[in-house]
Structure 1
Amino acid sequence: MDTKMESTLDGLVDVPRLRCWLDEHLAELGDGPLTCTLLSGGSSNAVFRISRGGESVVLRRPPKVPRPDSNRIIEREARMLKALTGSDVPHPHFHAYCADDTVIGAPFYLMAMVDGWLGYDENRFDPAPFNVPQHRRQKAFALVEGIARLAKVDYRAVGLKDFGRPEGFLERQVDRWASLLASYRESENYPGREIPGLKYAADWLRANTPAMSPAGIIHGDYSFANALFQHQPPVRLAAMIDWELTTVGDPLLDLGWVLYAFRGRDESTPPAGYFDPDGYPYREELAEYYAERTGRDIGNLTYYMVLAQYKLACILERHYARMLNGRQTRHLGEVMGKLVLRLGAKAGEMAKAAG
């Protein structure tokens, strides 16, 4: 391996050991020289393109400085993608999982390389010919179609009976994410800050927890930023990606996670989302489409949107904390820090409006 390759991999992949493992476990990739290219390397996962002369595949492994749950997350992602094999849920085809951390230094899995364009990138607009109003509407419905299909998968039938704890799922949510937020004091040496609206939202969620809808698979972080679309019109979903928060629980949380960022018909203030919702369908249209596709009752949609924004604010505050301690870039930390404030304020506003 040359110096450039060594620098690119940054100690994240032992190429000779990986080549031997592929010879034994995934010979269909070919037997030529192994090319390993870093695609992304953030605080959650490191992602590589792997090629040996045949089709290219994607390798995902924990980051260089793993979190306490990084290995478990990789194993769960791999198990979910394997379980979805044969379903109509657009997802990357699963190839193989390796729990042996002596191969490349950490557990990893391999999945298909999906040819598609990312639904959201802060540095660019949708590619032509999709940058027109007609396709913007199609794109929103295609996004919702992904979670509608996922919600209809029988998690028991695909081997995920023990994957999550659906009993009491909603009752645990606020404490689960409040605990994560509090943990940054120790893990990031972060004293915390005032996030207006967040405490009100937490209290409202505890007081207004509905009966859970039928348990199903949750993606957990589904948005335009984690959706790949096919290159040719009409707009169709190619794959739902980044499954690190997947579990079995209440699928309506995925719906709330998607719809909080769209504009409501009677909404007087803008959503707290990450994209400009102008030109997209109203959230009520998308909610009705989801209900028609799944048969699920969406009468408590506000609860799920408040919960989604609360959960996301707690998760993303870690980026702001890491910026302050020098473990995160200033740009990303500032962007996420501002988004957290919008999420907290909007979650509180929605809760107050609901009464």
Structure 2
Amino acid sequence: MPSESDLVDPERLREFLAGYLDEADSFDVERHDQGFSNETLFVEWGDRDLVVRRPPPGETADTAHDVMREYRVVDALQGTDVPVPETIAACEDTDVMGCEFYVMARLPGDVLRFSEPDRFGTPDHRRAIGAEMVDTLAAIHTVDHEAVGLGDFGNPEGFTQRQVERWTDQIEWAFEETTERREVPQLREVGDWLAENAPDEHAYALVHGDYKLDNVVFGPGTPPELTGVLDWEMSTLGDPLCDLGWLLFFWPDRSDSIPTIMQTVAPVFLANDDYHSRAELIERYEEATGVEVTNQRFYRVLAVYKMAALGEMFYARYLMGNSDSTFYAMMEDGVPALAEQAVEIMEGEQPL
């Protein structure tokens, strides 16, 4: 895990911020230790709380950890119905921090991961959380991306088929390392099914790419109000139902038998009877967007397949000695459990 000294020269950052903000009588930088991708630094600038987003130190893939792409979409969404943090500045001068980075305001409130704040622990407030999540997703998918300057933000044609191909390629790459330890033949079965059932045509919209409960902020008051969508690094123009499928994957239902691996990545408290069911989330999404979701099974399977691909890559890196993460090691059993879940959805054994 990189230290703060690996990520930032405080004095250089202070000089940079002074060019955009009023002078501050206090300044402090703290690394945020959550997440597996771009690095997040919390900055105290006088009475303002800021966030710096930068890629991890060292070599990165050409398209991974693209913070300037993330900045572009967050900046474009300022003033729209999509709640995002206020952008402050972006820096392409690598002399400041050794990489490109951007700065935004830090939003007060809570990110919900493994528990709900006490103030949300009522039936009405729990219902409001699901409503806020769906209504915000609908706002993302219905924003006029051309009008806000994102008309060239991706290649939406054939997006869903490419998603299947991309994650299949990643699984095959990981299998070269992992099959000596254990095999997961069900993943190939799932990949074949997805390739056969991928839609030839789909709607085009701005998609977030990682839309789930722990990538949004709820403000500090009640009733629950979603005040900001975070972590836009996977955003592009594509098939909006891929976002919906991903949200549903991370939304346990009261009737689910939740695999152990999901208990480490999903907010299992959502299985409480007071929260929306997945079927209710889809119904609200249809009402908010005017889109009829007739192929939810495909998008739910695709979401599980994507998570399984990520897990298999994590496990491969663990076996290669590139990580000693216990989470990565858990994928030895976690990925087979995900593959089984995908098959159950495919075969109709895990309905909405």
Range into which the TM-score falls when normalised by the shorter chain? 0.7 to 0.9
Note if 1:203 corresponds to 2:198.
no
The 2-side partners of 1:34 and 1:44 are apart by: 25
How far did 1:210 drift?
Answer: 1.9
Moved more, 67-76 or 14-23: 67-76
How far did 1:216 drift?
Answer: 0.7
The 1-side partners of 2:123 and 2:337 are apart by: 26
Instruction: Look up the match of 1:275.
Output: 267
Alignment of 1:98-247 (within 5 A): 98-121=91-114, 125-184=115-174, 193-247=182-236
The 2-side partners of 1:175 and 1:60 are apart by: 30
Distance 1:261 1:105, change over 3 A: closer
Distance 1:75 1:205, change over 3 A: same
Alignment of 1:1-355 (within 5 A): 9-24=4-19, 26-28=20-22, 30-40=23-33, 43-69=36-62, 73-121=66-114, 125-184=115-174, 193-262=182-251, 273=262, 274-276=266-268, 277-279=271-273, 280-335=275-330, 338-353=333-348
Judge conservation of contact 1:151–1:216 (CA < 8 Å) in 2. yes
Q: How many residues align?
A: 340
Moved more, 332-341 or 247-256: 332-341
The 2-side partners of 1:340 and 1:230 are apart by: 35
Moved more, 230-239 or 294-303: 230-239
Judge conservation of contact 1:71–1:106 (CA < 8 Å) in 2. no
Q: Deviations over 1:42-91 (max 9, x none)?
A: 54122111233141210011112343136652111111101111111122
**Unpaired runs of at least 5, structure 1:** 1-6
Pairwise CA RMSD of aligned residues? 2.6
Q: Deviations over 1:221-280 (max 9, x none)?
A: 111121221222212212111112111101111111111344679x77658852332323
Distance 1:202 1:50, change over 3 A: same
Letter in 1 for 2:305: Y
Q: Deviations over 1:292-343 (max 9, x none)?
A: 0011121111111111111122123333333334443443224555543333
Find the residue that maps to 1:11 and give its secondary structure.
Answer: helix
Judge conservation of contact 1:196–1:345 (CA < 8 Å) in 2. no
Judge conservation of contact 1:197–1:349 (CA < 8 Å) in 2. no
Q: TM-score with structure 2 length normalisation?
A: 0.87
The 2-side partners of 1:50 and 1:305 are apart by: 38
Distance 1:68 1:8, change over 3 A: closer
How far did 1:287 drift?
Answer: 0.2
The 1-side partners of 2:108 and 2:332 are apart by: 32
How far did 1:95 drift?
Answer: 1.6
Judge conservation of contact 2:38–2:65 (CA < 8 Å) in 1. no
Letter in 1 for 2:171: L
The 2-side partners of 1:66 and 1:191 are apart by: 27
The 1-side partners of 2:207 and 2:184 are apart by: 27
The 2-side partners of 1:195 and 1:92 are apart by: 41
How far did 1:191 drift?
Answer: 5.4
Judge conservation of contact 1:137–1:281 (CA < 8 Å) in 2. yes
Letter in 1 for 2:41: F
Identity %: 36
Q: TM-score with structure 1 length normalisation?
A: 0.86
Find the residue that maps to 2:206 and give its secondary structure.
Answer: strand
The 2-side partners of 1:36 and 1:346 are apart by: 42
Judge conservation of contact 2:13–2:96 (CA < 8 Å) in 1. yes
Moved more, 217-226 or 10-19: 10-19
Moved more, 237-246 or 193-202: 193-202
How far did 1:31 drift?
Answer: 4.1
Find the residue that maps to 1:117 and give its secondary structure.
Answer: coil
Letter in 2 for 1:275: P
Judge conservation of contact 1:222–1:258 (CA < 8 Å) in 2. yes
Judge conservation of contact 2:311–2:328 (CA < 8 Å) in 1. no
Judge conservation of contact 2:37–2:65 (CA < 8 Å) in 1. no
Find the residue that maps to 1:197 and give its secondary structure.
Answer: helix
Letter in 2 for 1:160: L
Q: Deviations over 1:10-37 (max 9, x none)?
A: 321122222222233x124x34453211
**Unpaired runs of at least 5, structure 2:** none
Distance 1:204 1:191, change over 3 A: closer
Instruction: Look up the match of 1:4.
Output: none
How far did 1:137 drift?
Answer: 2.5
